[in-house]
């Protein structure tokens, strides 16, 4: 893993196709719409795009339930549209990563339709089937992330099938070598079309315990973290047996062997395990995944202590792998609202971008973060997400972070000429790309300026990291490469902070990064609310 690999220290911009840009007026974003806006993405200063699923799907989980891994859903366009997108991205210097959802398919996939018909057909063992207990109840106590039991009865076979997610997302049986080969063949199909990397959805869910042992109960005090509310019964268990099995490592080795047949491909795994940091370290490195990311910084905990200890824990066990960090994506509340509160200051968006892009590793930036978009508050009747509908009103689901990109201040936001699949909040019109492009101090301008400046600082891209101090609310770190050391301090509070930091005595404050910056007076760092200091 040399410094010349494009993915080391890369900034990866996540595009959620349904909500990025609609080219044909049906209210849903599509591949041609992405292609139309790639100049905008390239001008942000990012290195790659990650395109969320656009494959053939009944859209029960908005594309994460795949019915055909080798075709584009007509909602999003055609294979020719995808090829044009890749060509255009490459011409602009952007790498292209796509989602691969390996652990499960749609209930509409041809494999499942065959598998459910009988217990002796050629695909009979391609999914996780199990007999009922003598009383007719499911074979064990495993639960679905989306609520309720993780087993669905199929009358054709008189058996249950496993679904870790929706009942319309049956889990594949990766203990079957034919399944592994078929899925690797699907991956190869996209590698041959020129993609530069894969984002591997729920990659630790591919294998299950073949003995189907019950998961142990989790004490109430421990039902926190990992993005699962204690209102969700999924938090009531230690998930020792329905995911993160030892056999998964062999699958990753087989996948890496395929990827290594192509030049400079990157595999980024989404990992949600009982100890996600330890699993990230276990799953990344030579012969395994290139990078991994987890939900540790996708929680509600904004404290400097939480960020510092998460990074320290990972650095302590990640010896040969490469981390990737995310503070926002299509599955969680937008970070400006999650970490900024009800009335976040405008410049907090650029501060949080600077923070995640200053950690050792690569970073995923979700579309709209560069604009400082807040979470949309949608009424129940407008919800589309089955997760939110099931857990309303204590949890409103993921629609609030999936509303369309506001390109201009018109009613449809320049996203579509029709009716958007989700409404664009009034507050987002004032944050549109058109509005912000004319302001030098806008979140968009600060985002571009920071990424431009970061490219001139190799220590921030490739350097080792050291975390300093232990207090809140200021996070202090340094990055060092070949004798050059950059220090950074981030005030994660809404109040001004004066922090005694002998490390900063005599340091020169950087400018040119476009952030709301503090100052240094001797060995005291003075930080405005949500301010930043970079120094050398």
419 with 496, same domain: the answer is no
Q: Which domain holds residue 256?
A: 11-102+177-453
- Mean pLDDT over the full length of the chain: 95
In a domain, residue 366? The reply is yes
**pLDDT above 70 (res 300):** yes
423 with 496, same domain: the answer is no
What's the whole-number mean pLDDT along residues 120-144? Answer: 98
264 with 311, same domain: the answer is yes
Position 223 scores a pLDDT of: 87
Distance CA(22)–CA(76), nearest Å, equals 9
In a domain, residue 127? The reply is no
In a domain, residue 194? The reply is yes
423 with 504, same domain: the answer is no
**pLDDT above 60 (res 227):** no
- Which tokens sit at 450? 């920071």
In a domain, residue 349? The reply is yes
Residue 250, phi then psi, degrees to nearest 5: -65, -40
What's the whole-number mean pLDDT along residues 101-126? Answer: 98
In a domain, residue 515? The reply is yes
Position 251 scores a pLDDT of: 98
Per the annotation, the verdict on 261 as an active-site residue is yes
CATH number assigned to the domain comprising residue 409: 3.20.20.80
Residues in contact with 204: Cβ distance below 8 Å, sequence separation at least 6, in sequence order: 243, 244, 248, 269, 271, 272, 273, 279, 283
Per the annotation, the verdict on 399 as an active-site residue is no
**pLDDT above 90 (res 471):** no
Q: Are strands 68-72 and 532-535 parallel, antiparallel or unpaired?
A: unpaired
444 with 489, same domain: the answer is no
For the stretch 406-415, pLDDT in tens is 999 999 999 9
- Which tokens sit at 514? 């476009």
Q: How many CB atoms lie within 10 A of CB 494?
A: 14
Across 301-305, 366-370, 400-404, 440-444, least confident range: 301-305
**pLDDT above 60 (res 159):** yes
What's the whole-number mean pLDDT along residues 56-76? Answer: 98
Rg (CA), the chain: 23
DSSP string, 466-534: EEE---SSEEEEEEEETTEEEEEEEE-SSS-EEEE-GGGTTPPBP-SS-S-B-EEETTEEEE-TT-EEE
From 73, 81, 154, 201, the catalytic residue: 201
Please count the structural domains in the chain.
2
Distance CA(121)–CA(141), nearest Å, equals 28
Distance CA(392)–CA(338), nearest Å, equals 18
For the stretch 371-395, pLDDT in tens is 999 999 999 999 999 999 998 998 8
What's the whole-number mean pLDDT along residues 132-160? Answer: 97
Position 2 scores a pLDDT of: 47
Position 288 scores a pLDDT of: 98
Band of pLDDT at residue 226, cut at 50, 70 and 90: low
Residue 446, phi then psi, degrees to nearest 5: -65, -40
Distance CA(488)–CA(511), nearest Å, equals 12
In a domain, residue 64? The reply is yes
**pLDDT above 90 (res 133):** yes
386 with 530, same domain: the answer is no
For the stretch 485-518, pLDDT in tens is 999 999 999 999 999 999 999 999 998 899 989 9
Residue 424, phi then psi, degrees to nearest 5: -90, 120
Residue 96, phi then psi, degrees to nearest 5: -120, 120
From 120, 135, 192, 261, the catalytic residue: 261
Contact of 294 with 280, CB cutoff 8 Å? yes
Position 341 scores a pLDDT of: 86
Distance CA(356)–CA(361), nearest Å, equals 9
Of 453, 474, 502, the residue that ends a domain is 453
Position 512 scores a pLDDT of: 87
Higher pLDDT, 301 or 330: 330
Distance CA(337)–CA(376), nearest Å, equals 9
Contact of 15 with 49, CB cutoff 8 Å? yes
494 with 410, same domain: the answer is no
Q: Whole-model pTM above 0.95?
A: yes
- Which tokens sit at 511? 């400018």
**pLDDT above 60 (res 8):** yes
439 with 512, same domain: the answer is no
Q: How far apart are the first and last CA of the chain?
A: 27
298 with 417, same domain: the answer is yes
């Amino acid at each position: 893993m040399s410094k010349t690999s494009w993915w080391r220290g890369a900034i990866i911009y996540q595009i959620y196709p349904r909500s990025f840009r609609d080219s044909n007026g049906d209210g849903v974003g599509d591949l041609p719409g992405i292609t139309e806006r790639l100049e905008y993405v390239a001008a942000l200063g990012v290195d790659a795009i990650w395109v969320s699923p656009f494959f053939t799907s009944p859209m029960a989980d908005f594309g994460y339930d795949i019915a055909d891994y080798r075709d584009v859903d007509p909602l999003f366009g055609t294979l020719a549209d995808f090829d044009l997108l890749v060509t255009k991205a490459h011409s602009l210097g952007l790498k292209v990563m796509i989602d691969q959802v390996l652990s499960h398919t749609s209930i509409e996939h041809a494999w499942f339709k065959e598998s459910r018909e009988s217990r002796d057909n050629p695909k009979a063992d391609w999914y996780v089937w199990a007999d009922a207990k003598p009383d007719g109840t499911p074979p064990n106590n495993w639960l679905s992330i989306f609520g309720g039991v993780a087993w669905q009865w199929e009358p054709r076979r008189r058996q249950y099938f496993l679904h870790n997610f929706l009942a319309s997302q049956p889990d594949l049986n990766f203990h079957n070598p034919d399944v592994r080969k078929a899925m690797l063949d699907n991956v190869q199909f996209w590698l041959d079309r020129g993609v530069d990397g894969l984002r591997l959805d729920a990659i630790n869910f591919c294998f299950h315990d073949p003995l189907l042992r019950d998961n142990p109960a989790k004490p109430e005090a421990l039902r926190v973290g990992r993005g699962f509310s204690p209102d969700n019964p999924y938090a009531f268990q230690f998930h020792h047996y329905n995911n993160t099995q030892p056999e998964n490592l062999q699958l990753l080795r087989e996948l890496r062997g395929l990827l290594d047949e192509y030049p400079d491909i990157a595999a980024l795994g989404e990992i949600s395990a009982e100890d996600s940091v330890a699993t990230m370290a276990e799953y990344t490195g030579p012969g395994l995944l290139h990078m991994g990311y987890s939900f540790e910084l996708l929680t509600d905990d904004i404290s400097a202590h939480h960020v510092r200890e998460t990074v320290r824990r990972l650095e302590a066990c990640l010896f040969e792998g490469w981390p990737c960090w995310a503070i926002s994506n299509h599955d969680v509340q937008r970070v400006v609202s999650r970490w900024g509160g009800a009335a976040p200051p405008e410049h907090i968006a650029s501060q949080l971008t600077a923070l995640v892009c200053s950690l050792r590793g690569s970073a995923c930036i979700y579309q709209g973060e560069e604009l400082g978009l807040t979470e949309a508050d949608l009424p129940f009747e407008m919800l589309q997400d089955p997760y939110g509908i099931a857990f309303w009103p204590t949890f409103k689901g993921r629609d609030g972070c999936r509303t369309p990109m506001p390109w201009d201040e018109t009613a449809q936001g320049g996203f579509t000429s029709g009716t958007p699949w989700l409404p664009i909040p009034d507050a987002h019109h004032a944050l549109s790309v058109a509005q912000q492009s004319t302001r030098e101090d806008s979140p968009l301008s600060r985002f571009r300026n920071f990424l431009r400046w970061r490219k001139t600082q190799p220590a921030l891209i490739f350097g080792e990291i050291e975390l300093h101090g232990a207090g809140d609310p200021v996070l202090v770190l340094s990055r060092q490469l070949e004798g050059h050391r950059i220090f950074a301090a981030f005030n994660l509070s809404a109040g001004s902070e004066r922090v005694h930091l002998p490390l900063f005595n005599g340091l020169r404050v950087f400018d040119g990064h476009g952030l709301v910056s503090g100052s240094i007076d001797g060995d005291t760092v003075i930080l405005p609310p949500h301010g930043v200091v970079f120094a050398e």
